[in-house]
């Protein structure tokens, strides 16, 4: 049961990210069929570069990915049926997290929803340009989670980021 929560938590988060990539990639690939000028090409380069850094590296690699893996390891070591059942949500910090983590997680989700709604209103090639950047960031995020899974070697203390679990101060 312990391993199930760990696997379901990390696997569920990866599935959510992969589903988002699957949904957004066609709009990015549709750029192949679009006539683009110099401004569009420059925007595409900026979008991919910025999102690789801001979303992929700073957002995922430095924050989200290690926390997902660390919370999954914490769940493995402290199993509770309801948390195991909702392991992906647990690993993302929506439940059994400090108030600060819950507010940050919900706030970021709200911003993402607003961004998605606004981007859907854009015509091609602008939508594809932004989606290409997001797909790049999400892909880096998936690889970051896999990186932390491998580098942690199953040890909670090997990841030096707080778990943000209430009542626990597990900063290593």
- Between these two residues, 1 and 64, which has the higher pLDDT value? 64
* DSSP single-letter state for residue 123: P
Confidence of residue 169 (pLDDT cuts 50, 70, 90): low
Does 89 map to a domain? yes
Residues 113, 35 contacting (CB under 8 angstroms): no
- Looking at 55-59, 61-65, 97-101, 167-171, which range is the least confident one? 167-171
Does 70 map to a domain? yes
Does 101 map to a domain? yes
3 state DSSP class of 172: coil
Does 74 map to a domain? yes
- Quick one: average pLDDT of 50-69? 96
10-54 confidence digits (pLDDT tens): 999 999 999 999 999 999 999 999 999 999 999 999 999 999 999
DSSP letter string over 84-118? HHTHHHHHTTSSSS-HHHHHHHHHHHHHHHHHHHH
pTM exceeds cut of 0.75: yes
Does 13 map to a domain? yes
- Structural domain for 44, as ranges: 2-30+37-157
Does 165 map to a domain? no
Number of domains in the chain: 1
Q: For the chain, give the mean pLDDT.
A: 93
So what's the pLDDT on residue 158? 83
Angle between helices 2-29 and 126-152 (to 10 degrees): 150
Does 163 map to a domain? no
Nearest to 167 by CA among 97, 70, 91: 97
Confidence of residue 167 (pLDDT cuts 50, 70, 90): confident
Residues 9, 92 contacting (CB under 8 angstroms): no
109-149 confidence digits (pLDDT tens): 999 999 999 999 999 999 999 999 999 999 999 999 999 99
Q: Could you give the CA distance from residue 155 to residue 33 in angstroms, rounded to a whole number?
A: 47
Q: Could you give the CA distance from residue 42 to residue 37 in angstroms, rounded to a whole number?
A: 9
Does 172 map to a domain? no
So what's the pLDDT on residue 172? 37
Residues 159, 62 contacting (CB under 8 angstroms): no
């Amino acid at each position: 049961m312990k391993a199930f929560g760990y696997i379901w938590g990390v696997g569920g988060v990866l599935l959510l990210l992969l589903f988002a990539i699957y949904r957004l990639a066609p709009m990015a690939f549709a750029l192949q069929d679009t006539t683009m000028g110099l401004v569009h090409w420059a925007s595409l380069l900026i979008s991919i570069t910025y999102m690789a850094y801001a979303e992929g590296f700073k957002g995922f690699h430095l924050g989200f990915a290690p926390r997902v893996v660390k919370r999954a390891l914490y769940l493995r070591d402290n199993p509770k049926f309801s948390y195991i059942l909702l392991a992906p949500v647990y690993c993302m910090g929506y439940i059994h997290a400090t108030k600060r983590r819950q507010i940050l997680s919900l706030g970021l989700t709200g911003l993402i929803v607003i961004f998605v709604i606004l981007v859907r209103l854009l015509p091609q090639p602008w939508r594809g340009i932004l989606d290409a950047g997001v797909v790049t960031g999400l892909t880096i995020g998936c690889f970051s989670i896999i990186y932390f899974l491998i580098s942690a070697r199953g040890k909670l203390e090997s990841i030096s980021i707080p778990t943000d679990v209430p009542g626990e101060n597990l900063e290593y």
